[in-house]
Amino acid sequence: MQLAARMHRLGTETAFEVLARAKALEAQGRDIIHLEIGEPDFDTPRHIVDAAIQALRDGYTHYTPSAGLPALREAIAEYVSRTRHIPVHPSQVVVTPGGKPIMFFAILALCEEGDEVIYPNPGFPIYESMINFVGATPVPLRLRMDREFSFSADELADLITPRTKLIILNSPANPTGGVLSQADLAAIAALVQDRDLMILSDEIYSRILYDGEFASIASFPGMAERTIILDGFSKTYAMTGWRLGYGVMPTDLATHITKLMTNSNSCTNAATQMAGIQALRGPQDDVDRMVAAFRERREVIVDGLNAIPGFRCLKPRGAFYAFPNIEGTGLRSKALEELLLEKAGVATLSGTSFGAYGEGFLRLSYANSVENIRRALERIHDVVVKIAD
Ligand code: PLP
C-alpha cells in the first residue's frame, strides 16, 4: 500500500500513546498514577447529562444542520458575545465534535504550500502536525520560562513575513499554563492590524483561569474580523468524551468551514448539542467548583515539584498542567518520562511531546485527586533522588 505523501507529514498527540502504555502496565498489575492525559477527572454536571437523556427521549436522534442546531449556535453566539465583549451573530458559529476539528478545518481552509504559520512551541502538538499536513511551513514561536511562557511583541514581529498566513495563539496555554495578558494581546493586535493574515485563537481553557478576567485577541478593535475563536465544552464542563466544541469566525469563512463539516462529519451529535445548550444556559456552579479544586491541586503540585532535586516549576496561571523545568536532573525529557512510568508508576509527558522547545521540561496534568497527586510526588521524588545518588 502506497500512502499519500501528506500522511508522512502528519504528527500525533503522544498523550494517547503514553496512556496506552500506562494501561498496558496496569493490565500487568502495576499501580499507575495518571498525570499524562489532559482531561478533567470530574463527571459531567448532572443537569447537562439529564438534558442529553431528555433530548434522546424527545427524538433528537437525527442529523442536524452541519453548522449545528440553530438554538445552540444562538446560545454560543450570546455566550461568546458576553465573554469577549464583541457582537457575535449565530451565522459566525460552527459547531463541531470537540474543539479540535476547528484547528483541523481552519488550517485546511486557510493554509497551503508557500504559506507560513506561526504557532506556540512548546504548544499543543496538533498545530504543528496540521501545518505540516497541509504543506505549509511551521514557524515556531518559542515560549520561554523566564517570560512566564509568554513572548514579546518584538519576538513575534521578527517571525512575521509577507508569507505569514496564520498566527496561532493559545491562552491559557497547554502545556505551559501561561496566559497572555491584556497588554500582550494589545501589542499583538497592534502588530497584526494592518497585515493580511488571520489569527486562530485557541481559547479552550478560557474558563480555567486562576487570576483576573479572561482576555481574547478578538476583543481588540478590528480583530474580530480576522480571528477564529476555538472554544468548546470539553474542559469547562468536563465533557471530553461527548465531543462538542465550536469555532466563531467571520460569516464568510464559517460557510466554508461548514462545508468541511458536511464533507467529513455531516454534523455533530444531536443530543450532545442539546446538552451544550443546557451547559451554557444552566447553572455554572459546577464550573466554579471544578476551578476551585484545580486551584487547590495547583498549590500541592507546584510546591511538591519544587521540592524535587533538579525540578523548577512556575505556578500556572490557567489550564490544569504543571510544566516544570527538569534540566537539573541531568536527564533528557523523554528519558525522564520513561523512567517515571517504569520505576515510579507515574505517567507524565515529556516536554518534547509539545515541540522541540519542550526539551528540558515535563508536563504533569493535575486533573487528579490531591491524594493521587501527593502519592505521585512522593514516588517521583524517590526515583529522582535515587538517580542522583
Ligand atoms: N486545544 C488545546 C490547547 C487542547 O489542549 C485541547 C485538548 O486537549 C484541545 C484544543 C481540543 O479539545 P477537544 O477535546 O474539545 O477537541
Contact residues of ligand 1, CB 6 A cut-off? 38, 98-100, 124, 170, 174, 202, 204, 232, 234, 240, 245
C-alpha grid cell for residue 166?
Answer: 496564520
What is the pLDDT, as a whole number, of residue 381? 97
Shortest CA distance to 197 belongs to which of 160, 158, 244?
Answer: 160
Q: How confident is the model at residue 194 (pLDDT cuts 50, 70, 90)?
A: confident
Q: Identify the structural domains of the chain with CATH numbers, from first to last.
A: 5-44+285-388 (3.90.1150.10), 60-281 (3.40.640.10)
User: Is the separation of the CB atoms in 214 and 80 below 8 Å?
Assistant: no
Q: Could you tell me the distance, in angstroms and rounded to a whole number, from the CA of residue 245 to the centre of ligand 1?
A: 9
Neighbouring CB atoms inside 10 A of 194's CB total: 7
Q: How confident is the model at residue 51 (pLDDT cuts 50, 70, 90)?
A: very high
Average pLDDT over the chain, rounded to an integer: 96
What is the pLDDT, as a whole number, of residue 16? 85
Shortest CA distance to 170 belongs to which of 321, 381, 330, 373?
Answer: 321
Q: 77-98 pLDDT, tens per residue? A: 999 999 999 999 999 999 999 9
DSSP string, 49-88: HHHHHHHHHTT--S---TT--HHHHHHHHHHHHHHHTS--
Q: Bigger pLDDT: 387 or 118?
A: 118
Q: 313-341 pLDDT, tens per residue? A: 999 999 999 999 999 999 999 999 999 99
What is the pLDDT, as a whole number, of residue 264? 98
What is the pLDDT, as a whole number, of residue 45? 98
Beta bridge partners, 232, equal 245
Shortest CA distance to 109 belongs to which of 166, 54, 55, 65?
Answer: 166
Query: Which residue's CA is minimally distant from atom 7 of ligand 1?
Result: 38
d(CA 254, CA 232): 16
What is the pLDDT, as a whole number, of residue 216? 98
Shortest CA distance to 95 belongs to which of 328, 273, 306, 349?
Answer: 273
Query: What percent of the chain shows pLDDT beyond 70?
Result: 100
Query: Which residue's CA is minimally distant from atom 11 of ligand 1?
Result: 100
Instruction: State the residue for C-alpha cell 469566525.
Output: 249
Q: 339-372 pLDDT, tens per residue? A: 999 999 999 999 999 999 999 999 999 999 999 9
d(CA 93, CA 371): 40
Instruction: Indicate the top mutation candidate among 18, 39, 104, 124 to test ligand 1's pocket, ranked by most ligand atoms within 8 A of CB.
Output: 124
Shortest CA distance to 204 belongs to which of 107, 276, 99?
Answer: 99
Supply the pTM of this predicted model: 0.97
Give the number of C-alpha atoms closer than 13 A to the C-alpha of residue 363, restricted to the C-beta side: 31
Q: 200-226 pLDDT, tens per residue? A: 999 999 999 999 999 999 999 999 999
What is the pLDDT, as a whole number, of residue 316? 98
Query: What percent of the chain shows pLDDT beyond 90?
Result: 96
Q: How confident is the model at residue 14 (pLDDT cuts 50, 70, 90)?
A: confident
- Give backbone dihedrals phi and psi of 123, rounded to 5 degrees, phi first: -160, 180
Query: Which residue's CA is minimally distant from atom 8 of ligand 1?
Result: 38
Q: Could you tell me the distance, in angstroms and rounded to a whole number, from the CA of residue 171 to the centre of ligand 1?
A: 12
Instruction: State the residue for C-alpha cell 481588540.
Output: 220
Please check the confidence at residue 37 and state whether its pLDDT lies above 90: no
Beta bridge partners, 119, equal 140
Shortest CA distance to 273 belongs to which of 261, 287, 263?
Answer: 261
Q: How confident is the model at residue 13 (pLDDT cuts 50, 70, 90)?
A: confident
Please check the confidence at residue 388 and state whether its pLDDT lies above 80: no
User: Is the separation of the CB atoms in 14 and 349 below 8 Å?
Assistant: yes
Query: Which residue's CA is minimally distant from atom 5 of ligand 1?
Result: 174
Please check the confidence at residue 159 and state whether its pLDDT lies above 80: yes
Q: Could you tell me the distance, in angstroms and rounded to a whole number, from the CA of residue 37 to the centre of ligand 1?
A: 11
What is the pLDDT, as a whole number, of residue 377? 98
Q: How confident is the model at residue 312 (pLDDT cuts 50, 70, 90)?
A: very high
d(CA 361, CA 337): 10
- Can you tell me which atom of ligand 1 is nearest the CA of 123? 3
What is the pLDDT, as a whole number, of residue 103? 98
Neighbouring CB atoms inside 10 A of 23's CB total: 12
What is the pLDDT, as a whole number, of residue 389? 76
